[in-house]
Amino acid sequence: MRTPQRASVRFHLAFAVLGVTFLAIFSWVFLKEYLAEWRTTQAQFDQLQRRVKDPHALSLAAPLGEIQQIWLPDLNRVDRCPTCHLGIDDPAFVSAPEPYTTHPGAWLRTHAPDRFGCTSCHGGQGEATDFRNAAHQPIPYWSDPMRSPQLIEANCGACHRERRPRQAVWLEKGREVIANAGCIACHDIPGFSLEELRAPRLESVGYKVRPEWLRTWLADPKAYLAQARMPNFRLEPPEIDSLSAFLLAQRETAPLDSAGIDWSKADRDRGRTVFGEARCVTCHRLEGRGGTMGPELTTVGSKVGRAWLFSFIKDPTHDQPGTLMLRYRFTDDQIRDLVAYLTEDLIDPGAPQASSEVRYVEPALIERGREAFVRHGCYGCHRFSGMVDLGKIGPSLLGIGDRAIEAADFRNAAVVPSRPNWLFLKLRAPDTLADQSRMPTFNFSEPDAAAAVVALLSIRRADLPVSRVTDQPRPVRYEPQGTFGALVARYRCLSCHQTRGWGGELSTVPLDRIGSQLQHAYLVSYLQLPSAVRVSLEERMPWFRMTREEARTLADYLAGVFVDDSLERPVPLDADAARRGARLYQTLGCRGCHSLGGTGGYVGPDLSDSGRRLKPGWIEAWLSDPGRWKPGTLQPNYGLKPEEARSLTAYLMTLSTDRSGSTP
């Protein structure tokens, strides 16, 4: 009889304990919800808005006391940030403290919160309703922390895939760094697949370079050339030996014959004149000045052999079919003098001297060199006829912006373990992160590496719906054919100029409507002997020494095809209008930027010869709305009345430097 009684006591006891436990849990949940951080935040906001707003505005304000959230099903995001950031889209709170302050800038106008949410741009945990869990502050190894101001453009880049996104300077710079460094040689990178690599082909490099130079170059390219694009592969001396042997054995195409050249007649001074007249410095640097499209030439004499250089200048495509270098119409004597200048005057006195002894090279060494060439992925940049379909040596960078970070990634580096830090170190000093890293050292500057980190972080794993992505149209390769096409290929017009979005970017003048901008006679004379119209520019069009026939062919084609009919309109050019235009030229302050007869500014082109250079329809259209023709131009829109634009056009058409009255 006692057993059931005891059981009943135990049962009552358990029931009481359970009841108290449930009461505690219930109270705890209730209290936690009641004392939630966001409620306090909202209560403070309520006091604030009573001070900031008038009673009418207050009556229209959103009700408080509940969680505010933005749900974006297509992005799989739920952002509860507005629960605390209550004044974010209300200009009345512009000077309120965080978290109530108004969003700075005009960003919410273009990125409405109900369409984009908050975490799309800022990162962080959208579902959280307290400060810590939203990941406002960095938390070690956290996968998606809020972006700091320095990194926020990485999130711009997730949607904005253009190479040059507007108002995202870091992202833009980072994408440029990635493109210029040739990262796609080794990695598949979304958005960069059309990038062209500019490294030379090496099938005939044995004819090209001096052996002693090659060793220095392989050991550290930047030791020879500060602007070298090739990174440092941290090669050991035995690898340098074998790679040199392998490369010097590459002799597929012999240079063009220069056996008949009498080098004893070469004149270095004449060669220097040819160098200056041809404006080689537009693309090649010399002692710190000049362009960067081609390699620097300050010590080119210590790098390449005479016979190869003669052949290369005579026909650059003989050895390098895809080169950006044009084929000048030099005589053999001019090339001889030029080569003598380049190989004898432009040398590095400290460079290792050539050893005269002939050494037997073992085939096994060459074979080891080939293996090293493949092992380091040299074929990624230097397309090699014997090596196709080897695949990219590095991993794809799709999803690099989501890569999980582990302590082991950092080896001994004493840094905050975060994804940006890991990428930054990987770019700056890959060998500090892993013993066996095959990634070469690029010596990126700190700002360049930081910009590249921003661009890399924008490459996410999960792709966005198409409707969320903006991109630029892919340019279509433009390869003109026929006589015109042959001249464009010979003089490599598209290395510098663009048309239909295709071509180089050295020239700021796209060719699309050049035939409607410039007079035919001027084009013919300019192509034969380009004179500087923009005096402050260092990059000037080279003197190709093209024939009159060639210049005519090019000008005819440009004038017939590269036109815009809307510009081909008559402009009345009477003397009265020209006088009014001359006055406007003074009152508008055109002389601040343009030169006339040797005086005036040199921001814009010299206008002294406008009457023989430009077409009136173009001047009028340009003056009326410069930004329409060239976005970002330094020529502002003066809001000219049509009559004023016509008067200025009439005036500019009277300007000519030709005193003889004849046209060329």
Is 662 a binder of other proteins (CB under 8 A)? no
Residue 125 CB, shortest distance to other proteins, in Å, is: 13
Residue 460 CB, shortest distance to other proteins, in Å, is: 16
Nearer Cβ to other proteins, position 428 or 646? 428
Single out the residue of 616, 611, 615 nearest to residue 653, CA to CA. Answer: 611
> In whole angstroms, what is the distance from residue 364 CA to residue 457 CA?
44
Q: What three-state secondary structure class fits 93?
A: helix
Q: Is 171:162 a contact under the CB 8 Å cutoff? A: no
The residue ranges of DSSP E strands in 400-507, in sequence order, are: 498-499, 502-503
Nearer Cβ to other proteins, position 23 or 535? 535
Q: What is the DSSP string of 191-210?
A: T-TTPPP-PPP-TTHHHHB-
How much of the chain is helix, strand and coil, in % rounded to 5?
45, 5, 50
Candidate ranges 42-50, 51-59, 131-139, 372-380; the one touching other proteins (CB under 8 A)? 131-139
Tokens of 315: 């026909």
470 bridge partner residues = 160
Residue 447 CB, shortest distance to other proteins, in Å, is: 7
Please select the residue that binds other proteins; options are 80, 85, 103, 147, rule is CB under 8 A: 147
Residue 426 CB, shortest distance to other proteins, in Å, is: 11
Nearer Cβ to other proteins, position 284 or 419? 419
Please select the residue that binds other proteins; options are 8, 21, 27, 150, rule is CB under 8 A: 150
Q: Which residues 444-503 are close enough to bind other proteins by CB under 8 A?
A: 446-447, 450, 453
Tokens of 65: 């006391």
Q: Which residues 99-118 are close enough to bind other proteins by CB under 8 A?
A: 104-106
- Burial state string for 158-186 with b = 16 or more CB within 10 A and e = fewer than 16: bbbbbeebeebebbbbbbbbbbebbbbbb
Phi/psi for 105 (5° steps) reads 70, -170
> In whole angstroms, what is the distance from residue 580 CA to residue 125 CA?
65
Nearer Cβ to other proteins, position 145 or 221? 145
Residue 628 CB, shortest distance to other proteins, in Å, is: 11
What string marks each residue from 524 to 563 as x (binds other proteins by CB under 8 A) or -?
------------x---------------------------
Is 412 a binder of other proteins (CB under 8 A)? no
Single out the residue of 594, 558, 585, 562 nearest to residue 651, CA to CA. Answer: 585
Q: Which residues 420-439 are close enough to bind other proteins by CB under 8 A?
A: 420-421, 423-425, 428
In one letter, which amino acid is 350? G
How many degrees, rounded to 5, is the angle at CA 558 between CA 554 and CA 561?
130
Is 136 a binder of other proteins (CB under 8 A)? yes
Tokens of 36: 């939630």
In one letter, which amino acid is 175? R
The residue ranges of DSSP E strands in 398-521, in sequence order, are: 498-499, 502-503
Is 145 a binder of other proteins (CB under 8 A)? yes
What string marks each residue from 571 to 610 as x (binds other proteins by CB under 8 A) or -?
----------------xxx-xxx-x---xxxxx-------
Is 167 a binder of other proteins (CB under 8 A)? yes
Is 627 a binder of other proteins (CB under 8 A)? yes
Residue 653 CB, shortest distance to other proteins, in Å, is: 22
Residue 506 CB, shortest distance to other proteins, in Å, is: 18
The residues that touch other proteins, with contacts defined as CB under 8 A, are 98, 104-106, 136-139, 142, 145-151, 167, 169, 414-416, 418-421, 423-425, 428, 446-447, 450, 453, 536, 587-589, 591-593, 595, 599-603, 626-627, 632, 634, 636-639
